[in-house]
Amino acid sequence: MNSPTPRIAYVVKRYPRFSETFIVNEILAHEAAGRAVEIISLYPPNDTHFQDVLARVRAPVTYLNADGLKAVELWNELERAAAALPGLWTELASARGAEAREVYQAARLARLVRERGIGLLHAHFASTATEVARLAARFAGVPFTFTAHAKDIFHESADADDLRRKLAGAARVITVSDYNVAFLRRQFGQLAGRVCRLYNGIDLNRFPFTSPRERPSRIVAVGRLIEKKGFAVLVSACDLLARRGVAFECEIIGTGELEPGLRAQIESLGLKERVRLAGPRPQQEIISLVGGAAVLAAPCVVGADGNADGLPTVLLEAMALGTPCVSTDVTGIPEVIRDGETGLRVKQHDSAGLADALERLLADPALRAALATRARALMEREFDARHNAAQLWDWFADAIREGHAHGAPTRNGTTVAADLARDFARPSKPAAARTRAVAAVSASAP
């Protein structure tokens, strides 16, 4: 690349997380190319299982935990940050609407940006991690970018005004499918002008292709046991297959809040000998299980709360391994599961259609092999983590080179925090300002 070598910090809510292998893949691709990154995690992990691939990550991790934050701690951090960042008091106007803990974490992060010479902040998910990155970038005078995925833009809890602020301030916004790009541009118009699509990449060397022609009649599914994964639909489809006399076994890998309900569904349908909830598994074991299955099922649905998968990483991994996939017509999935070409696609919530597609693949080794070959070719063209990470790094470097830090904040008035900060800065009445500031932030601190 003919671009400068930037120093980048990844900002995430929690690190590591069992289900977010796509972030780890991205960091590992940077490191494999000799690019140094560091990881800023707002909170410590709360998962009980972790992927073995984490051992390969060399990036240092800094935690900015703000649980139990007290008002005086917030104020003290703002004082420390202001000493290092002379424009901080003015920039506090941009924190209007943010939670107290986010302001605290942003101030801490902004100091780290200055101390470590970080040139850009990149956040994953357009939620609290991006808010902290946005504010820290503003306080420190560096650009920020973020990747929007699925729940952070589709869920009913996604705040349109909050997302507008983030879209307006980011040097570039990355999202994981053309569907997402169209959605954001439809929702936000010109504010989404810097949104671009970059597929989540995978390390193809870790997912070697083998032909599925001679594999046993095994169906595998991988994901959190939550509504949007559609595993209840899969269990119903397995019931139909059993009634038709189809020989198969099905393994569902993952854990989540719907496990008791799925287990009860399996038992009530008499499928305990056919369908197994396997719990969480390390990635290397998942690779082996998926790579040995005749078909991977990903019956994704749009949840009642609007939550949906953007583009499940497990589909990409299965396609790389040569395991033919059956999935649905949800969000960006049709971009990879091209019906009859790289996989089979059915309508969401359609258990009969899913059963038909599964039966078709179980019965037709030649079809499995043809779909798998074309799917692997697609992965090599568009989903190679090395190529996609290099593109992302170029965008980072462009943002730094262009100096795309935020301009002056737009004001329709002033915030309490900004007014109090200016008062405190006046030598004539620092004590009074401090007293009012502590009282003001006490109301918003958790």
Q: Which two tokens stand for residue 196?
A: 């671009």
Same domain, 299 and 409: no
In a domain, 150, yes or no: yes
Which pLDDT score, from 0 to 100, does residue 54 have? 76
Same domain, 319 and 402: no
Which pLDDT score, from 0 to 100, does residue 48 have? 63
Provide the CATH number for the domain around residue 408: 3.40.50.2000
Same domain, 175 and 28: yes
What H or E segment, with its residue span, contains residue 181?
helix 178-188
In a domain, 3, yes or no: no
Which pLDDT score, from 0 to 100, does residue 53 have? 75
Same domain, 371 and 348: yes
Which pLDDT score, from 0 to 100, does residue 194 have? 94
**DSSP secondary structure string, 89-138?**
HHHGGGGTT--HHHHHHHHHHHHHHHHHT--EEEEESTTHHHHHHHHHHH
In a domain, 68, yes or no: yes
Same domain, 307 and 401: no
Which pLDDT score, from 0 to 100, does residue 219 have? 98
Averages of pLDDT over runs of 10 residues in the chain (446 residues) are 68 86 92 94 80 82 94 96 93 93 97 95 97 97 96 91 96 96 96 96 95 97 96 98 98 96 98 96 92 98 92 96 98 97 98 98 98 98 96 94 51 32 34 36 37
In a domain, 158, yes or no: yes
Number of H helices, E strands in the chain: 17, 13
Same domain, 379 and 416: no
In a domain, 312, yes or no: yes
Which pLDDT score, from 0 to 100, does residue 438 have? 33
Distance CA 83, CA 199 (A): 41
Which pLDDT score, from 0 to 100, does residue 74 have? 96
Which pLDDT score, from 0 to 100, does residue 70 have? 95
The span from the first CA to the last CA of the chain, in angstroms, equals 46
Q: What number of CA atoms fall less than 13 Å from residue 399's CA on the CB side? A: 30
Which pLDDT score, from 0 to 100, does residue 3 have? 45
Which pLDDT score, from 0 to 100, does residue 71 have? 94
In a domain, 161, yes or no: yes
Range of the domain at 421: 8-201+386-442
Same domain, 193 and 264: no
In a domain, 1, yes or no: no
Same domain, 101 and 182: yes
Same domain, 242 and 367: yes
Same domain, 64 and 133: yes
What is the value of pTM for the model shown? 0.85
Domains identified in the chain, total number: 2
Rg (CA), the chain: 24
Same domain, 175 and 29: yes
In a domain, 75, yes or no: yes
Which pLDDT score, from 0 to 100, does residue 51 have? 65
Same domain, 228 and 345: yes
Buried-state track 40-53, b at ≥16 Cβ within 10 A, e below 16:
bbbbeeeeeeebeb
Distance CA 324, CA 341 (A): 10
Of 349, 365, 383, the residue at which a domain comes to its end is 383
